[in-house]
Chain A
Amino acid sequence: MSYAAVHEDDHHDHDHKPTGIGRWLFSTNHKDIGTMYLVFSLIMFFIGGAMAMVIRAELFQPGLQFVDPQFFNSMTTVHALVMIFGAVMPAGVGLANWMIPMMIGAPDMAMPRMNNMSFWILPFAFTLLLATFFMQGGAPAGGWTMYPPLVLQLGDGFPFLIFAVHFLGISSIMGAINIIATVFNMRAPGMTFMRLPLFVWTWIITAFLLIAAMPVLAGAVTMLLTDKFFGTAFFDAAGGGDPVLFQHVFWFFGHPEVYILVLPSFGIISQIIPTFARKPLFGYASMVYATASIAFLSFFVWAHHMFTVGMPLAGELFFMYATMAIAVPTGVKVFNWTATMWKGSMTFETPMLFAIGVLFMFTLGGFSGLMMGITPVDFQYHDTYFIVAHFHYVLVPGIVFGIISGVYYWMPKWTGHMYDEKLGKLHFWTSTISVNVLFFPMHFIGLAGMPRRIPDYSTQFTDWNMIISIGGFAFGLSQLILVWVVIKCIRGGEKATDQVWEGAHGLEFTLSSPPPFHSFTTPPEVTDATAHS
């Protein structure tokens, strides 16, 4: 029979793991699947990173040095697709897989088989996408936003780009449904919604965003497909359609997507800052409401990505004010994190350093976002390196640092060993210095007028571009330290205690390090005293 009911009394018998390649291919275990997600994400982080290195090498000096413009455009396009859908999103889902069942006191995810499929789609979807490099006409080169009519000029790679997006959408929707069902239905007795750890809260809200946004992206790219192959006229004004329509549909997905990427990172640092400040999170309830407000508002701000395409004045104004409104709940979160640290007994282990890095540098990215949210100002910044600086500040030191801080924070729990603190700190400082050398000068050259997605530039931008490229290479190299730390930690190290960190609370820290194969076979009882909030 292909099932196993785990009973309360076979408590000591649950740690038999399947072996061999089947353990991974057929897995129904949230930890194994979480591990696969995280390893996949790390590999994609380096593939996308390698593309970024090509971009920075080409931009080191003006003129065309290494690659032809078409390939350069493929690099910017596929770098974005790989980083967003291959590195950041799977990392978030991987952490959710590992941590949510442990945090809410469940044995596993609600639908373990579907969980397996959500993961295994990813490597195959990226095979479809990356195979386009070897096809007639090359890889997608019209930008990750796939605007028509430009994207329709892509050669044989076009249907594979579209199908890769469909495939990834299927994976994300199944993953999100699973997370919602798990949190709604698998919580331990006494684990009420307002006792959920904030990482779980941010993930429920992220999952809602995924279910609402990913199908819209699927619809948008389906219309591209029929426009290219079946003669429809959705995005062709000559047939009565409108190319701007694609941008509206795309960004209706695209803006919630921004929060799909960032909210898990918010959740992670909301776990870490209280631990190392040794104080409960300041304003727990307001954090939950702020997260929900951000998510809700994210559906009404999409057109701030397209202020310059031509919209009625009322539209420009509406989307400007709606965008400003998001700053309010985001501000609530930033102040709450700061207030959590206020008068805390702080220590600065690697996870805390990365979390504080998120707090400062995400806020910086938030500020430049506010600048561009102002319509008339955006007309100046639009499609310059200023926007590149903005979203990389949000995505790299805002989100990637958040994910890395989570990895350092929970790695001792996963492996049973403490990581090498010296190397961790080295990783933090090299990353933080290089990331600012990399992205901060982009603000200047953007304001000075250097356009994005261009392989060559005017000579007055040379000095800053050289500095940016050096920062880029340094940042890329720094990430090798992470790989080394992870390998070292898996292979051995100081034994981690169950609680791992002195100030850590929550159900995941009541389990052994590493935890048993099925997290909780008996539901733990959660009370106000044991709840982590």
Chain B
Amino acid sequence: MSNSQDAYFIPEPSRWPIVGTLALFTTFIGGGMMLNGSGFGTFILGIGIAAVVYMFSGWFSDVIGESLAGSYNKQVDISFRWGMSWFIFSEVMFFAAFFGALFYIRVLSVPWLGGEGAGFATNMFLWPDFQAVWPLLTTPDMSLAAADSKYLAIKEVIPAFDVPLVNTILLLSSGVTITLAHHALKKEHRAPLCWWLAATVILGFVFVFFQMEEYAHAYHELDLTMKSGVYGSTFFMLTGFHGFHVTMGATMILVILVRSMKGHFSSKDHFAFEGVAWYWHFVDVVWLGLYVFVYWI
């Protein structure tokens, strides 16, 4: 476990961290101004996001260059592995906050609003006619005067055994294709590696496309929006952050695909590939949780 190498790798001073910090700072300033209603904020936000992309590409080019130059040893490789694993764990905890909120709302607070257990007084004094059901199509305040509600009544929710099922199959298949790509890489079969990676990227982006179609359908035909009470809140928060992660993951795989086509990676040394694959599987697992708890039951 402890280091037994004859050399340590220590990078020279780098400008990317400070570029990244400034980029995020600009993004946050722009985002804040935009949310406060300033049109100029949107412009600053755009600059910030562009700078973040610039930082990522610059920083990763440096790292890829160092890797190709052979300056990384086994120890650096292990550091990267620990880094990626714990980064994914932090992402798991980020989603855990929203899943926790979903479970709390479904198991505790909505039944309480309906008069069950500890919350019966709320029901009696505020919304005596509110019935706790899930999916929650109408919000508690609608039980008093539907017209005065600041929320939107949902006509219908997205059925689980429709597009979401197709999306589940797409994502699970992409988990298989990236594994096949990995096997091909281990055997140094370059062509199948690239083809399987390309298939994974396509499956990922098709998933995102279907998800966007689903959102359009929900907004325009079902009145299922972020403003549709707590069902819409949890639905869009969970699926939205997941969709964003799929987009990031698919972009990462795209980079790996380009690198594979350029002949990067060897059968023994391909941490970048593995890190991205771990990330992809993580996105996959989150989807399964989503599919079961948001769409299905």
Contact = CB atoms under 8 A, between A and B. Distances in A.
Contacts of A166: 28
Given A5-B7, A159-B32, A211-B93, A189 B2 contact: yes
Interface stretch (A222-230, A283-291, A348-356): A222-230
Interface string B75-96: 1001100110011011101111
Interface in B184-243: 225-227, 229-234, 236-237
A176 to B, nearest CB: 8
Interface in A502-531: 518, 521, 523
A170 B23 CA distance: 13
A3 B71 CA distance: 8
A128 B32 CA distance: 10
A8 B31 contact: no
A294 interface: no
Interface string B127-144: 000000000100111000
A111 B140 CA distance: 51
Interface in A106-151: 106-108, 110-114, 116-117, 120-121, 124, 127-128
Question: Which label, helix, strand, loop or mixed, suits the secondary structure of the B interface?
Answer: helix
Contacts of B86: 176-177, 180-181, 211
Contacts of A252: 97, 100
Contact of B230 (A127, A128, A233): A233
Interface stretch (A240-248, A270-278, A366-374): A240-248
B82 A241 contact: no
Nearest to A164: B28
A252 B16 CA distance: 34
Contact of A237 (B9, B82, B126): B126
Given A2-B66, A245-B101, A7 B6 contact: yes
Nearest to B32: A159
Interface residues on B, range: 35 or more
A156 B227 CA distance: 22
Interface residues of A, number: 91
A171 B247 CA distance: 23
A216 B93 contact: yes
The listed residue with most A CB atoms (<10 A of its CB), out of B4, B104, B110, is B104
B100 A5 contact: no
B286 interface: no
Interface of A: 1-8, 18, 22-23, 25-28, 106-108, 110-114, 116-117, 120-121, 124, 127-128, 156, 159-160, 163-164, 166-167, 170, 173, 176-178, 180-182, 184-192, 211-216, 218-220, 222-223, 225-227, 229-234, 237-242, 244-245, 248-249, 252, 310-312, 518, 521, 523
12 contacts: A3-B69, A8-B6, A116-B18, A184-B78, A186-B79, A216-B93, A226-B226, A232-B233, A237-B140, A238-B140, A245-B105, A245-B109
